Amino acid sequence: MYSDRPEPVHISAAEHGITPERISHHALTVLQRLHEQGYGAYLVGGAVRDALVGQVPKDFDVVTDARPEQVRALFRHARIIGRRFRIVHVIFGHEVIEVTTFRGGDDEAVRRSDQGRILRDNVFGTLEEDVWRRDFACNALYYDFATEEIIDFVQGWQDVAAGRLRLIGNPQTRYQEDPVRMLRAARFAAKLKFSLTEETAAAIYPARHLLKDIAPARLFDESIKLFQGGYGWAAFEQLRAMDLFGFLFGGLDELLNRDYDRIAALIEQVLRGTDERVAAQLPVNPAFLFAGLLWADLSRRREFWLHQRVDSETALAVAADEVISAAVRQVAIPRRLTDLMRVLWSLQPSLEKLGQGMAQGVPLAQLSSDHKHLLAHAWFRAGLDFLCLRSAVGEVAEATCAFWRQYAPARDAQGGEAIPTHLPEDFAPHGGLPDRPRRARQRRPRRG
Ligand code: ATP
Ligand code: MG
């Protein structure tokens, strides 16, 4: 398949400028240990690419000729994981270093579906073989711990310099092997501001439909990387431009096609807000993000049920069931998140109704018990943050957001929980977003 394999280019440390100080010391520990034991030890992928473009790598991927069992034996806290590929996670407190064994073998050894999708690929190989299994040339640069050189078989070095995203090999085949590479193309274009080469871009449209066969759990993982990586708004725009967004959120994509400006306004608020929080290293909760993305779909369905003369609480609950069950069929948003999405949504009508026309400066003690009840809700602050995003796009009066805000100031830039100074001591503090809603829900959703 790849007959005329070129000789690799070696780029010296002086030329590439990546010094060991720029590498996570846990990754260095792993590289060093492998090297001492006589194994090859390389950094590959995002770690090398991001360092070259001056971004801080999100994680450090190590690749070696040691087998998974051999890698695991070298570290106290290491475990073998993986469905399609077996890899080793070496765990250092919060940091996990992913160690992969070179992949190789001829095409015979790889199990494929009828569409050419790779199902299992656990044949080990050499660096020279591994490189052709990587997706983009800019992701296939190997930093050799032993020599501190970068080894480049595929002119990835030139691509990084030119800001180019180019699939290795025949793009059509590579998308068929793994359709998620199309989403990765959108993600790297957004993250790195790289441009797809003509061939890499052109092969996407005809292969898009293959994304329908990807497991919803994997699409959930990809969605998190796309929207919570700190460049979520750019990723959204890329996905729309490449006509891929519908393979994640079909219903929403159709709404966007009909009424882009109105619907995208809130999505832009949510995603840019998330990007800012990531940049400031504040925690982000995916439930908030998905609640924001799907709000337009929810509102539309809720309207429908209201027109059927269903009471407003039921209309919202039924609409939420519909939106969530449709969404999780494509993107497997876990239950703990969909539970919280329902709470965020269901708080909106009360916040609007009770906040409407209220004057500023009313002392807390003089508020009605309904107001106090809402203020004491475990998710009040998250619900309010959501309300204020809606007010920023003109869906809710600014005064309504401002009214509630006086009892729960926005969190400060340091990420500390702003203590709600106006609340009496017997009120539960409204923190950020813990993992699970603390209150029991009233009704059980069907699924999701
Ligand atoms: P980031 O960590 O910033 O998301 P990355 O390029 O490191 O970007 P990872 O998902 O961490 O992406 O994967 C590490 C490397 O593994 C990639 O750079 C690429 O070489 C290879 N890789 C990952 N996913 C695929 C895939 N679906 N097909 C081919 N190669 C892949
Ligand atoms: Mg990575």
26 CA distance to ligand 2 centroid (A)?
Answer: 15
Cα-to-chain-centroid distance, residue 406? 33
User: What pLDDT is attached to residue 85?
Assistant: 76
61 CA distance to ligand 2 centroid (A)?
Answer: 6
Q: Given a cut of 50, is residue 445 above it in pLDDT?
A: no
The active-site residue, picked from 59, 178, 221, 339, is 59
Residue 385 Cβ < 6 Å to ligand 1? no
Residue nearest atom 11 of ligand 1, based on CA coordinates: 46
The active-site residue, picked from 50, 61, 152, 275, is 61
Per cent of the chain over pLDDT 90 is 78
Residue nearest atom 2 of ligand 1, based on CA coordinates: 46
Per cent of the chain over pLDDT 70 is 86
Per the model's pLDDT, the better-predicted residue between 101 and 421 turns out to be 101
Residue 84 Cβ < 6 Å to ligand 1? no
Residue 45 Cβ < 6 Å to ligand 1? yes
For residues 213-217, give the mean pLDDT. Answer: 97
Residue 297 Cβ < 6 Å to ligand 1? no
The active-site residue, picked from 65, 135, 144, 321, is 135
Domains parsed from the chain with CATH numbers: 9-162 (3.30.460.10), 232-405 (1.10.3090.10)
Could you tell me the pLDDT band of residue 106, with boundaries at 50, 70 and 90?
A: low
How far apart are alpha carbons 111 and 116 in whole angstroms?
Answer: 9
For residues 418-427, give the mean pLDDT. Answer: 34
Q: Given a cut of 70, is residue 447 above it in pLDDT?
A: no
63 CA distance to ligand 2 centroid (A)?
Answer: 12
104: alpha, beta or left, given left = phi > 0 and alpha = psi -120 to 50?
beta
Other Cβ atoms within 10 Å of 75 Cβ, number: 19
Residue 61 Cβ < 6 Å to ligand 1? yes
Q: How many CA atoms lie within 13 A of 396 on its CB side?
A: 26
- Write down the residue that tokens 């032993």 correspond to: 146
User: What pLDDT is attached to residue 119?
Assistant: 61
Residue 180 Cβ < 6 Å to ligand 1? yes
Residue 174 Cβ < 6 Å to ligand 1? no
Give helix then strand counts, H and E, for the chain. 21, 12
* DSSP H or E segment with residue 80: strand 78-81
Other Cβ atoms within 10 Å of 76 Cβ, number: 7
Could you tell me the pLDDT band of residue 208, with boundaries at 50, 70 and 90?
A: very high
Residue nearest atom 28 of ligand 1, based on CA coordinates: 135
Cα-to-chain-centroid distance, residue 17? 29
For the stretch 134-144, pLDDT in tens is 999 999 999 99
Q: Given a cut of 50, is residue 415 above it in pLDDT?
A: no
Q: Given a cut of 50, is residue 1 above it in pLDDT?
A: no
Could you tell me the pLDDT band of residue 297, with boundaries at 50, 70 and 90?
A: very high
Q: Which of 49-53, 195-199, 335-339, 360-364 has the lowest mean pLDDT?
A: 360-364
Whether this model's pTM surpasses 0.85:
yes
Residue 253 annotated as catalytic? no
Query: What CA–CA distances, in Å, run from 161 to 16, 95, 191?
Result: 11, 29, 15
Ligand nearest to the backbone CA of 137:
1
Residue type, 198: E
Closest to 214 in 3D by CA, of 223, 225, 205, 206: 223
User: What pLDDT is attached to residue 6?
Assistant: 74
Residue 46 Cβ < 6 Å to ligand 1? yes
User: What pLDDT is attached to residue 107?
Assistant: 58
Could you tell me the pLDDT band of residue 439, with boundaries at 50, 70 and 90?
A: very low
User: What pLDDT is attached to residue 410?
Assistant: 65
Q: Given a cut of 70, is residue 417 above it in pLDDT?
A: no
Sequence-distant (6+) residues with CB within 8 A of 257 are none
Average pLDDT along the chain: 88
Residue 339 annotated as catalytic? no
For residues 416-426, give the mean pLDDT. Answer: 35
Q: Given a cut of 80, is residue 113 above it in pLDDT?
A: no
Instruction: Quote the DSSP letter at residue 416.
Output: P
- Kindly give the number of the ligand 1 atom that is closest to the alpha carbon of 134: 30
Per the model's pLDDT, the better-predicted residue between 58 and 243 turns out to be 243
85 CA distance to ligand 1 centroid (A)?
Answer: 13
Could you tell me the pLDDT band of residue 45, with boundaries at 50, 70 and 90?
A: very high
Could you tell me the pLDDT band of residue 124, with boundaries at 50, 70 and 90?
A: confident
Ligand nearest to the backbone CA of 169:
1
Could you tell me the pLDDT band of residue 51, with boundaries at 50, 70 and 90?
A: very high
Closest to 247 in 3D by CA, of 159, 154, 327: 327
User: What pLDDT is attached to residue 238?
Assistant: 98
Query: What CA–CA distances, in Å, run from 14 to 111, 144, 204?
Result: 42, 14, 38
User: What pLDDT is attached to residue 359?
Assistant: 84
Ligand nearest to the backbone CA of 136:
1
Residue 135 annotated as catalytic? yes
* Residues near ligand 2 ion, CB 5 Å cutoff: 45-46, 59, 61
Residue nearest atom 3 of ligand 1, based on CA coordinates: 46
User: What pLDDT is attached to residue 118?
Assistant: 64
How far apart are alpha carbons 191 and 316 in whole angstroms?
Answer: 36
**163 in Cβ contact with 193 (< 8 Å):** yes
**355 in Cβ contact with 404 (< 8 Å):** yes
97 CA distance to ligand 2 centroid (A)?
Answer: 10
For residues 129-151, give the mean pLDDT. Answer: 96
Bridge partners (DSSP) of residue 44 are 61, 142
For the stretch 244-296, pLDDT in tens is 999 999 999 999 999 999 999 999 999 999 999 999 999 899 999 999 999 99
Residue 40 Cβ < 6 Å to ligand 1? no
Could you tell me the pLDDT band of residue 82, with boundaries at 50, 70 and 90?
A: confident
For residues 161-183, give the mean pLDDT. Answer: 97
211 CA distance to ligand 2 centroid (A)?
Answer: 22
